[in-house]
């Protein structure tokens, strides 16, 4: 064996010994605090199932795994995990729902503990006050279900995908089907409970700056969010949902009309656009084409919706009778339903309206994995014909891409850019979410799929907001660059101002106060403020 090989073996042996020592020290530290019951190592029988359930975006399944998984059932169990991790030198990655696009809650280059909050899911509703306290590990589905069981005229304006954890979507800002009327998820938070780096629990009264930061600035940069107090909103007993489908070819003018007026529609009406590939058949021949769907929600009954559509979108040709007919075929050109709020949640997530509300409580691990890469943009001026032509051309190169366009305006225009860290307010027409899906996660396939997404993102540059080009934290993208080893504030601004614009500096100053030594950190966490370049 050569000297270089011997040196490598020795260094690797020292690395393993150091890791083993840290594991032993961490468990010993926890045992002194009587907190080992819900902590798992890779040798624990339940470790793999907990990790697999955490990976809602399993693209990074083969990346580094946590040295420990802590799944507390009581908030008091979190403090020893923080203090012992600090003492031993382990990072903490915080997971509520596990939907983060880049998997940073369950992977790291360094030894770490995954703090799995999914067992902290208590929900307490006060209809007299019209508020709800929800622990951060509860999913949106659990929250929606609990509200619907209590009231037919209350809702909470949050995301479409109901398996997302409240901890992540709220701390990232959060958009949803009710946002044009009621604002972002984070706009409807009235209090919170957060455990800081010293294990102290803080609320809004104890630290107003921290309360500002976690509503859209990413909670995992500042501490462990334990629970949110949310403002419930009043809705009618009946809402209306509908979908209009068209081929992209020959109908771009309808999309361009949507771009110009969707953000100006009455606040009760949200019409989003979903673009994806489809296959048409003619005899024995099949041909791929690009189609788009207008998927919409009106906060009111059909009879009030139809006059609005005749005014703004007579091209939809939607009649009252269409909303009370049974749809006999999937992918019909138009469909419409008058529904309860909880049914609208199922509809927007492409579930059957006849599915039981308990569908929202699903916590099973999918047997068929779907891998993906996502990113986002905001748009301030309508995309010209050349942009739509480019999108269609690139979509036909790929198998399962998707773009979702969600209109802003209404409530968004009433809230200032600095009210919370989420700055994408007046002047933005809509948000874009890009996705590409694949089923084979081999290195060659995944590289090709991610490469296509990067190509599309680059081609979109002339058509979206710029200086800086902006993005949504809830669709985190590490292609925007990541924190270097020194967690430099000036370098972090490169990606930070995409998400937060002028609010990034204030976020860093809050970080300096609540976590000056940067214990809570990840690839795109807020670093402490510094004037050093």
3 state SS for 21-34: HHHHHHHHHHHHCC
- Segment (H or E) for 303: helix 302-312
The predicted pLDDT at position 10 comes to 45
Phi-psi region at 240: left, alpha or beta (left = phi > 0; alpha = psi -120 to 50):
beta
Q: Which helix (H) or strand (E) holds 84?
A: helix 78-88
Query: 78-88 and 3-32 helices cross at what angle (nearest 10)?
Result: 150
Q: Output the pLDDT for position 73.
A: 95
Answer yes or no: are the C-beta atoms of 429 and 457 closer than 8 Å.
no
Helix/strand/coil for 294: strand
Q: Nearest 5°: CA angle at 61, between 55 and 63?
A: 120
* H-run or E-run covering 229: strand 224-231
* Residue 219 to residues 187, 324, 411, 473, 490, Cα–Cα distance (Å): 15, 44, 24, 11, 21
Tokens (6 digits) for 75: 């908030």
Beta strands in 311-460 (DSSP E): 334-339, 371-379, 401-407, 430-438
φ, ψ at 62 (rounded to 5°):
-95, 10
| Main-chain dihedrals φ then ψ at residue 353, nearest 5 degrees | -65, -20
Run means of pLDDT, 10 residues per run, the chain, 533 residues: 51 47 86 86 91 73 82 96 95 89 87 95 98 97 97 96 92 96 98 98 96 97 98 98 95 96 98 94 79 97 97 96 76 91 94 92 76 96 96 96 98 97 98 95 92 98 96 96 90 96 98 97 94 62
H/E segment holding residue 191: strand 189-195
For residues 137 and 170, is the Cβ–Cβ distance under 8 A? Answer: no
How many other CB atoms are there within 10 angstroms of residue 134's CB atom? 26
Q: Which among 473, 447, 455 is positioned nearest to 171, based on CA atoms?
A: 473
Strand ranges, E, within 426-511: 430-438
Q: 392 near 248, Cβ under 8 Å?
A: yes
Residue 384 CB neighbours (<10 A): 12
C-alpha dist (Å) from residue 474 to 174, 178, 359? 7, 17, 24
Pairing mode, strands 269-282 and 239-247? unpaired
Q: With contact defined as beta carbons under 8 Å apart, do 292 and 274 qualify? A: yes
Enter the pTM of the model. Answer: 0.93
The two beta strands, 91-95 and 123-126, are: unpaired
**Parallel, antiparallel, or unpaired: how do β-strands 371-379 and 401-407 relate?**
unpaired
pLDDT at residue number 6: 52
Instruction: With CA atoms as reference, report the closest residue to 381 among 460, 306, 310.
Output: 460
> Which residue in 340, 339, 359, 335 sits closest to 349, CA to CA?
359
Q: Point out the residues that are catalytic.
A: 475
Compute and round to an integer the Cα radius of gyration of the chain: 24
Burial class (CB in 10 A: 0-12, 13-18, 19+), 331: exposed
Number of H helices, E strands in the chain: 15, 18
Sign of CA dihedral 454, 109, 494, 225: positive
Q: How many CB atoms lie within 10 A of CB 424?
A: 24
């Amino acid at each position: 064996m050569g000297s270089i090989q011997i040196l490598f073996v020795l260094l690797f042996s020292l690395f393993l010994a150091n890791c083993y020592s840290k594991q032993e020290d961490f468990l010993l530290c926890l045992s002194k605090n009587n907190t080992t019951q819900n902590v798992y190592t890779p040798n624990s029988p339940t470790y793999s199932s907990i990790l697999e359930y955490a990976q809602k975006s399993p693209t990074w399944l083969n990346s580094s795994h946590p040295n420990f998984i802590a799944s507390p059932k009581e908030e008091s169990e979190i403090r020893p995990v923080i203090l012992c991790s600090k003492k031993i030198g382990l990072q903490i990655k915080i997971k509520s729902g596990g939907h983060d696009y880049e998997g940073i809650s369950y992977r790291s280059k360094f030894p770490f503990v995954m703090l799995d909050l999914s067992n902290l899911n208590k929900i307490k509703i006060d209809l007299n006050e019209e508020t709800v306290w929800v622990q951060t590990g509860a999913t949106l589905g659990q929250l929606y279900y609990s509200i619907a069981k209590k009231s037919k005229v209350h809702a909470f304006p949050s995301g479409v995908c109901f398996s997302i954890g409240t901890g992540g979507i709220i701390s990232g800002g959060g958009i949803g089907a009710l946002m044009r009327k009621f604002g972002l998820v984070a706009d409807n938070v009235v209090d919170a409970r957060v455990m800081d780096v010293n294990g102290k629990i803080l609320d809004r009264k104890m630290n107003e700056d921290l309360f500002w930061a976690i509503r859209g600035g990413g909670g995992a940069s500042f501490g462990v969010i334990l629970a949110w107090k949310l403002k419930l909103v009043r809705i009618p007993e009946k809402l209306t949902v509908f979908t209009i489908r068209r081929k992209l070819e020959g109908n771009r003018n309808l999309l361009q009309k949507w771009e110009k007026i969707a953000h100006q529609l009455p606040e009760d009406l949200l019409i989003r656009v979903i673009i994806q590939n489809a296959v048409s058949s003619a005899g024995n021949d099949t041909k791929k084409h690009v189609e788009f769907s207008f998927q919409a929600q009106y906060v009111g009954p059909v009879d009030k919706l139809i006059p609005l559509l005749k005014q703004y979108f007579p091209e939809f040709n939607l009649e009252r009778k269409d909303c009370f007919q049974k749809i006999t075929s999937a992918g019909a050109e138009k469909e419409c339903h008058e529904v309860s709020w909880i049914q609208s949640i199922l509809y927007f997530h492409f579930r059957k309206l006849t599915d039981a509300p308990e569908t929202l409580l699903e916590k099973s691990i999918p047997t068929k994995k779907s891998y993906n890469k996502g990113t986002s943009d905001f748009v301030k001026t309508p995309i010209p014909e050349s942009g739509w032509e480019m999108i269609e051309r690139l979509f036909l190169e790929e198998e399962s891409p998707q773009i979702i366009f969600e209109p802003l305006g209404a409530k968004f225009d009433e809230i200032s850019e600095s009210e919370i860290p989420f700055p994408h307010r007046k002047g933005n027409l809509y948000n874009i979410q890009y996705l590409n899906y694949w089923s084979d996660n081999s290195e060659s396939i995944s590289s090709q799929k991610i490469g296509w997404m990067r190509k599309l993102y680059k081609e979109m540059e002339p058509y979206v907001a710029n200086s800086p080009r902006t993005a949504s934290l809830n669709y985190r993208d590490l292609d925007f660059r990541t924190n270097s080893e020194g967690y430099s504030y000036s370098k972090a601004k490169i990606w930070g101002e995409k998400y937060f614009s002028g609010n990034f500096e204030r976020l860093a100053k809050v970080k300096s106060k609540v976590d000056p030594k940067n214990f809570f950190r990840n690839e795109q966490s807020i670093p402490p403020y510094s004037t050093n370049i």
